[in-house]
Amino acid sequence: MSRVVSHRIPRNLAVLLAVACAVSLVAVTALWRPWVGEAPTSRADAGSAGSAGVVAGLELPENPRVLVFGDSWTYGSAATSPDEGYAYVLADLLGGETIVDGVRGSGYLKTGLDGGTFVERAQELDPALSPDLVIVQGSINDRKLGSAGYADAVATVWDTIASIYPNAAIVILGPAPQVLPVERATARIDNDLAQLAAERGWPYISPVQEAWITPANYSWVIDTSATGRDHPTSAGHAYLAERVAEALATFRVDAPAQ
């Protein structure tokens, strides 16, 4: 069964202030690209990657209801408690509510530890959730399964979500690297998702190409211990939530009321 939790939390000021300071470090390493030569399509280039041409602008109400669908990173793995995961923290940053549906080990093709594949889980989503925005995150869990059937599985998941929530905007959040340098298979997944999203004119966010995780911040963003298993720390989750919120803002054509 998927772990679906609706959450609205106060901002953890200590963690987020630390993250805000650390974000400045990212600019220093913004040009770090270990996967040069196979870089996926960026948000800026997405329009030219597929037949859709132009990525649709994102319109959200002042207090959006957001469904975040993904893997263990969405679940909140390695945070001090799962509700410190990026998907939960995102609620406060967007001034709304997040409905978190994260399953550890799950991917478009890979069956999760606590639930099925993305395909199976998408088919079980509750239409009554009625989100304003759906964020589909991940997944690095597919990286060992090859490309056979991958595009079909992605299309099935995206078509299913779009049919269940016809009034919701959909944003695709690609996989983030759990190790450095970025694995070739992770870069392939990121590129495939970027191309497929571009063909639909859907917003795509690439933590890989935009270098969210670099040698400068890896040590505090990722928990490499036996229990953390290369998932984000609580501070890492807060940082990722900030980056997701910033990325969403670049797509928005509406301005939240002040």
Least confident interval from 1-10, 41-50, 104-113, 232-241: 41-50
Cα-based angle 140, 146, 150 (whole degrees, multiple of 5): 80
Write down the mean pLDDT value for the chain. 85
Residue 15 burial by CB count (10 A; 0-12/13-18/19+): exposed, middle or buried?
Answer: buried
133 lies in some domain: yes
88 lies in some domain: yes
77 lies in some domain: yes
Torsion of CA 116, 122, 128, 133, to 10 degrees: 120
95 lies in some domain: yes
H or E segment at 136? strand 133-137
Give the range of the structural domain holding residue 80, as residue numbers without chain letter: 65-251
- The pLDDT value recorded for residue 254 is 74
108: domain CATH number is 3.40.50.1110
Which has the higher per-residue pLDDT, 10 or 96?
A: 96
43 lies in some domain: no
Residues β-bridged to residue 252: 58
58 lies in some domain: no
Residue carrying the six token digits 């395909």:
119
pLDDT tens per residue, range 147-198? 999 999 999 999 999 999 999 999 999 999 999 999 999 999 999 999 999 9
Number of structural domains the chain divides into: 1
- The pLDDT value recorded for residue 6 is 65
CB 75 within 8 Å of CB 86: no
- The pLDDT value recorded for residue 255 is 55
57 lies in some domain: no
- The pLDDT value recorded for residue 32 is 36
pLDDT tens per residue, range 19-55? 444 444 433 333 333 333 344 344 434 333 334 458 8
52 lies in some domain: no
